[in-house]
Structure 1
Amino acid sequence: MFTPSAVLRHRASKCANAFLKMSSATILNNVPSNPHHHKGDGVEHTTGKPVRNEDGPPLQYRVTARCTRSKARVGVMSLRHADVDTPVFMPVGTQGTLKGILPEQLLELDCRIMLSNTYHLGMRPGTDVLEKAGGLHRFMGWPRGLLTDSGGFQMVSLLQLAEITEQGVRFQSPYDGSECMLTPERSMEIQNAIGADIMMQLDDVVKTTTTGPRVEEAMHRTIRWLDRSIAAHARDDEQSIFPIVQGGLQPDLRRVCTDELTKRNTRGFAVGGLSGGESKDEFWRTVHLCTDLLPEDKPRYLMGVGFAEDLVVCVALGIDMFDCVFPTRTARFGCALTRAGQINLKQRQFAQDQRPIDEECECSTCRTYSRAYLHHIVTVEPVACSIVTVHNVAFQLRLMRDMRQAITEDRFPEFVQEYISIRYPDDTAIPQWIREALAAVNITV
């Protein structure tokens, strides 16, 4: 006879096996059969309900509600594959998949857009395979929105043998050791083959804490590379390029960069070069400056930011889009996200805790498993990573949904105050940078 714990373990294993046995053909049934998948047919294939409009440009953005005190706003970003409500968090599937979670599970969480990486996909499986598959949407069985970053950050930050010249980024392939060159033109070629709804220009990436002439050089080169990217873009009627605002931590360079980028006719903008070792004070002030300078009628994407309190503060500062590997990466270490902060399910204090991770969460993990059960399997069963990942992604998506609702109902400042009080029950523990950032947009905590 099974013990209660054994029953739960049996159920989890059975569930995991079912996912593992699911054929790729089954998943691909959710995607239009037309190999020119980027055109789509205006239908969400899991529900039959329309989710986006094909008329007009491949990205249309409109603001539908604004906070009357801060810079927070709600909008709808209409793409070829989905209508995306903003502010939005985009889970990161670097190589065309989120670690520990299937596309079908993302659909169940109502994820409307995810991110993949140009560098990794260009190396493996390569553009030939992606083009034959009809693009990444069909290749991975994902019928909704996709954003690809340019790959420049990964090469500069992860590869030791990378050299940046005016031509592009020269590096040694980590797969076969061959010498490669990623130029703005090649980045566009790969991203056109991937078929993402939104593509990032190749930018000249320097470490956030870099000072001196190199920062200005990178900023001006990023502008020149944007022009080359726009010239090389072969599918402007189906995919949109976002420029990336650079300039390090120097306000004057950020102003120059923003002024130049906004002269180009692009459909949205990204803020890059942050969340890389700078102080939180420098972080929020740079975000605040950039959202003041960027156009009101286009989406603003803050790259690589995903801590919950950062999301809340930066929405207040006027950011619309975010991405980060944090929710999936922290799940692999047995950590789950909650409003009160993350909890490490490996700790013995959860061995007898029969509550779900989050009693307000409606994801399949919180509906099914207790903290005690997850503590039991998190160090011994690979399926635990998947179970916690589902919750962490659901948590991020629900946080964004809650913020959108609060902005729409004109109670966003109260939402922020409640969120901070839960995250920091002792108000003397609230970081000063959070107080100052929110005060800058008329929210007191």
Structure 2
Amino acid sequence: MDPLIIVGLFLLILALLLGSGLWIGLSLLGCAYLGMEFFASRPTGDAMMTILWRSSTAWSLTALPLFIWMGEILHCTRLSSDMFKGLSPWLSRLPGGLLHTNIVGSAVFAAVSGSSAATCVTVGQITIPELRQRRYPEGLIMGTLAGAATLGLLIPPSLILIVYGVTINESISKLFIAGILPGIVLALLFMLYAGVAARLSPDWAPDQEPRIVLREKLRRARGLLPVVSLIIAVIGSMYMGLATATEAAAVGVLGALIIAVLQRAITWPMFLASLMNATRTSAMIALLLAGAAFLTLAMGFVGLPRMLATWIGTLGLTQFELLMALLVFYIVLGMFLDGISIVVLTVSIVQPIIAQAGIDPIWFGIFIVITVEMAQITPPVGFNLFILQGLTRHDLGYLAKAAFPMFLIMLAMVFVLIAWPDLVTWLPQHVR
């Protein structure tokens, strides 16, 4: 049968299940089950039982709930307010002033949360009132925060990179390390935009920050020591080869608990609440991964990935043309789905295609993450926009317009990665 017809049938079944209101994970399982029944000869129940057990007991998957729990614990602390106090004296004299606290604060918190949404909420609750009080332009506050919060998906520990790594059986530690340099470059591009936009904005008239002597700057910077120490413990242990991603996640949870206890910021009920929130989120993602694993198996028995790869090979696309087609595909898909759902729905189909085209799977993981970052700030389903709407009551269209320059910067970042792939692959090649 023509591969496009089989793809169409799979998509039709999946669309019907999703349209019925069924959870995405269960829709993936249902689609895979029906696909096995219709197109494969292997007993469906036996295959489903085997793959669900294997996918839900993978050792690499244990990093996911631990990193989620670490972020939940840190949400109880005063790290975000300490970060603002510690960063603002050093950033206030740059072009763009304290707008940079949105960007640098998001980059720092991203390195201990792994979540774009958590970064947006935590940083926004502190910086939005402070920047408004100092009369910074509202559009620039919203735009820089919406865009910079997406760094939570790229800078390790990224939950989406864990999902991607588990889905394609790639080293999570190497994926984490691969995200460091692109994350730093993207944050610098955001800061460059903030400086240029400040100079060009007709509404730019923020209150001047008082000059602070070096001793006072250093005293305030002490508030950054806990989060910097945690970043070094988690990321440094992986980069030096001292810990796997799962072991580094355990170190992160322990470090977050120590910080919370020393700050007297966590009570027993809050501890239990953080544990339950992490459990619920992890269970949701695990169901998605189980459904994706079964769907991957079903398509493998049908031979769909091989047929698609062969069909795309006949089109004669260059590597660049293939990447452009995938870029448009992911941007459109990101308008309607969250990042984790996009990864589990598509990677199993796309993986053999990129392998045939000679694209490095680690590089492609960072490519996917940046395109998913764009989805966080594109309507109608831009999660960072919804979070900012809840924090500020602004209209969704206003927020999307404010964030659009950040979307263009992320789009430019994709072309930077295509032009200089070593930006992604150099560090992982030097991991022990």
Fold shared per TM-score above 0.5:
no
Q: TM-score, normalised by structure 2?
A: 0.26
Higher strand share: 1
Q: TM-score, normalised by structure 1?
A: 0.25
Q: Which has the higher contact order (CA 8 A, sep 6+)?
A: 2
Higher helix share: 2
